[in-house]
Structure 1
């Protein structure tokens, strides 16, 4: 019985690991920025956190929207229909470009809000120039996402990974030169980190297009686009899948962003501690994201083949694998919770010793809660991937809204600002929201697949 599920582990991991590494690449850009900027001081670290909080919300909408391309390409691939696969990529590129430019414009319009958010004034002053540059990097990032989701829809998950690895090398190099002014370059502080992010994302788009164009398998899809012919039917199909998927991701990322803002109300040390715990958990979350793509692709293929019994067995094997891996991460967080925060700060800095010590103590408490929500977070994102593979997006969007905003956020708000739990209280709300989401999404998947099998 158990072997029915475990025999799929190898192929699931083969599909998922390049996605995990690619996703970790995105997070590693933030990780590198945080560690390098953390050497400048806690105000700079809090400023990057505040600036990125706006960008992450916009990024979640872009990445969520682009996931609509994967199930359409996977279904076309399962049915052996190249024309539909190419059409999904072409229309996806158009929509992702428009969305990237729109999100950049919206962030620029939102800049004045930074002054009215009760954030520390020195943090806001540092965050504004950083935000402007990183907001523009959303345009190449979301165009890259269209190519990435297309490549994953064809079960070719390694090419986006290569592009992301290159982007990281570029980002870290430019960071080193411009944050600290090494080798005679100007010392730009956190603006140097923003330039590194922007340059690396443009290079990432150019490189993935270059890689796909050179491979014979992709040539029929990625060459000879006629952008003059845009079909309303395909645009509508992508929007009908992409818009709810964007909202699902937005509801989750927005509650984590609300946690950043609530922490800012508690002070810069609480905000810096929150940033550390968030960055560490987002790295382990990428494993769930990778397996979520594997679930979306494999469920999409089985949907194309109309084989629903097999679809359910494969999906459940991915859920089981995710559970096992997330338990391992939970143990790592429990064991390393006092040591992990020290990576982010200069513990020998005598001037900031009191601040740094407080940040480490608060971050260790947050990692205790984060250990438990690893499991809920991994399960909910993978089940969401399987539901996207079934092209079921509307009810899951409602589920994520209820879980995060009607259950999780009120708990975060009350326990964070009105009890002695403070930062830990904010994270208790996150844990509750993620657990509610995982349970309700699994019930939805179980109900749908049962119905399809009986049909």
Structure 2
């Protein structure tokens, strides 16, 4: 056990800024949900519906950008600054183009809202919100390129600072524009969208300044330009990035399907689903941060060719994740009736019946979420370790099978054709995450077992 626990301090040192940075992303949504939730359950459901389209596109962009981290980490482990510079340049070009394409795709998909059996009042509120949040995908994916590069060099603090800044901007603008405070116009959900857009632009500006001001980055960002592209490097990033994007897409898409299925059940089940999903997303970011630590450390060891140490380091991160997720499971289990009250004005007499129903449904969903904390954390950390090994194709197939051949059919049947309804949807999510964690872990054991036994 000491072989693994002695790595905990460094794992935590590396992962903490990443976790805080990712929590910052989620906290933007948390602030939107809490503030918009004060307007009513229809407004909260509208933000949920609008974000469901954006989250699908965002999963592709963020998933693709993760290709930058293991390539930079491997170059850093090998002491090859020139290769690290090439990865940054080409990754930034690809992420910029992808951000623009995803923005266009969301706009083209927007009319689907009218054909999804969603409440009409929710759709009417969601459409103007979606227009602005979709545009924020462009600066968000550009920021991801900078973020993944910085993390590949084990400089995880700067993206964290960027997301802290984004949260300050978002909360201030939400306060001013959602409720019309201090003489500003009262824009409701549109005000929340403006806050998100401006916050994400702020993150890009911050990272651009940091990369040009800090000496540790200067050798990498010199001569940064869109014209200096090479097909082999573009192909290398795309071959690693698109399977990673699909992995994240398959997971996010099944949670998005849960949002849409909840909308078929009504605005209150959809609002409850949004509350449980937002809380689960916040704990998931701890697993994501440890997954980035696994990707960085495994990528470094791969660059050094030290496979026994690679396996030991990865296992130490898996063990840390298990301990942490057991704690979160206990928080959800014992706090399931209290946590949903954060999002709604319980004392509002006009919406009291709706609010109480939402809280009751959300508490049932958090009971299921308590159990899938463990599976969710383990699968994302093992996936990070596999990305560090630059193994992406088989894990992509695994995530598809787990979420869409196992999880989704169960969610669909139990949610829409049994009395379990919202709880049934989340039981399907639990099965998909559990299947994914088991299969990905077996894949990691198989690969590293071969690497350890191969001749030096």
TM range (shorter): over 0.9
In the TM superposition, what is the alpha-carbon distance from 1:375 to its structure 2 partner? 0.2
Q: Runs of 5+ in structure 2 lacking a partner?
A: none
Q: Which residue of 2 aligns with 1:367?
A: 366
Q: Distance in 1 between matches of 2:102 and 2:449?
A: 39
Q: Distance in 1 between matches of 2:32 and 2:224?
A: 37
* Cα deviation code 1:359-399 (max 9, x no counterpart): 00000000000000000000000000000000000000000
Q: Distance in 1 between matches of 2:17 and 2:325?
A: 18
Matched, 1:253 2:246: no
Structure 1, 366-375 or 222-231: larger mean CA deviation: 222-231
> Pairwise mapping of residues 55-134 of structure 1 onto structure 2 (< 5 A)?
55-134=54-133
* Cα deviation code 1:291-323 (max 9, x no counterpart): 000000000000000000000000000000000
Q: Which residue of 2 aligns with 1:144?
A: 143
Q: Which residue of 2 aligns with 1:27?
A: 26
In the TM superposition, what is the alpha-carbon distance from 1:211 to its structure 2 partner? 1.3
Q: Distance in 1 between matches of 2:214 and 2:340?
A: 43
Q: Distance in 1 between matches of 2:35 and 2:228?
A: 46
Q: Distance in 2 between matches of 1:388 and 1:360?
A: 38
SS at the partner of 1:217? Answer: helix
Q: Distance in 2 between matches of 1:6 and 1:98?
A: 42
> Pairwise mapping of residues 179-328 of structure 1 onto structure 2 (< 5 A)?
179-328=178-327
In the TM superposition, what is the alpha-carbon distance from 1:212 to its structure 2 partner? 1.9
In the TM superposition, what is the alpha-carbon distance from 1:213 to its structure 2 partner? 1.4
- Quickly say closer, same or farther: Cα 1:209–1:116, change in 2 above 3 A: same
In the TM superposition, what is the alpha-carbon distance from 1:89 to its structure 2 partner? 0.4
In the TM superposition, what is the alpha-carbon distance from 1:226 to its structure 2 partner? 3.8
In the TM superposition, what is the alpha-carbon distance from 1:223 to its structure 2 partner? 2.5
8 Å CA contact 1:160, 1:208 repeated in 2: yes
Displaced runs of 4+ in structure 1, greater than 2 A?
none
Q: Distance in 2 between matches of 1:434 and 1:228?
A: 42
8 Å CA contact 1:5, 1:313 repeated in 2: yes
Q: Cα RMSD (Å) of the superposition?
A: 0.5
SS at the partner of 2:350? Answer: coil
Q: Distance in 2 between matches of 1:286 and 1:4?
A: 26
Matched, 1:411 2:410: yes
In the TM superposition, what is the alpha-carbon distance from 1:208 to its structure 2 partner? 1.0
Q: Distance in 2 between matches of 1:421 and 1:128?
A: 30
In the TM superposition, what is the alpha-carbon distance from 1:272 to its structure 2 partner? 0.3
Matched, 1:173 2:169: no
Q: Structure 2-normalised TM-score?
A: 0.99
In the TM superposition, what is the alpha-carbon distance from 1:209 to its structure 2 partner? 1.2
In the TM superposition, what is the alpha-carbon distance from 1:222 to its structure 2 partner? 1.6
Q: Runs of 5+ in structure 1 lacking a partner?
A: none
In the TM superposition, what is the alpha-carbon distance from 1:4 to its structure 2 partner? 0.3
SS at the partner of 1:352? Answer: helix
Matched, 1:356 2:366: no
In the TM superposition, what is the alpha-carbon distance from 1:45 to its structure 2 partner? 0.3
Matched, 1:135 2:134: yes
Matched, 1:41 2:46: no
8 Å CA contact 1:159, 1:212 repeated in 2: no
Q: Distance in 2 between matches of 1:38 and 1:128?
A: 17
Q: Distance in 2 between matches of 1:68 and 1:262?
A: 32
Q: Which residue of 1 aligns with 2:17?
A: 18
Q: Distance in 2 between matches of 1:228 and 1:46?
A: 44
In the TM superposition, what is the alpha-carbon distance from 1:252 to its structure 2 partner? 0.1
* Cα deviation code 1:272-304 (max 9, x no counterpart): 000000000000000000000000000000000
8 Å CA contact 1:100, 1:143 repeated in 2: yes
In the TM superposition, what is the alpha-carbon distance from 1:227 to its structure 2 partner? 2.7
* Cα deviation code 1:191-213 (max 9, x no counterpart): 00000000010011000111121
SS at the partner of 2:45? Answer: helix
SS at the partner of 2:89? Answer: helix
In the TM superposition, what is the alpha-carbon distance from 1:175 to its structure 2 partner? 0.5
Q: Distance in 1 between matches of 2:439 and 2:14?
A: 26
In the TM superposition, what is the alpha-carbon distance from 1:335 to its structure 2 partner? 0.7
8 Å CA contact 1:330, 1:371 repeated in 2: yes
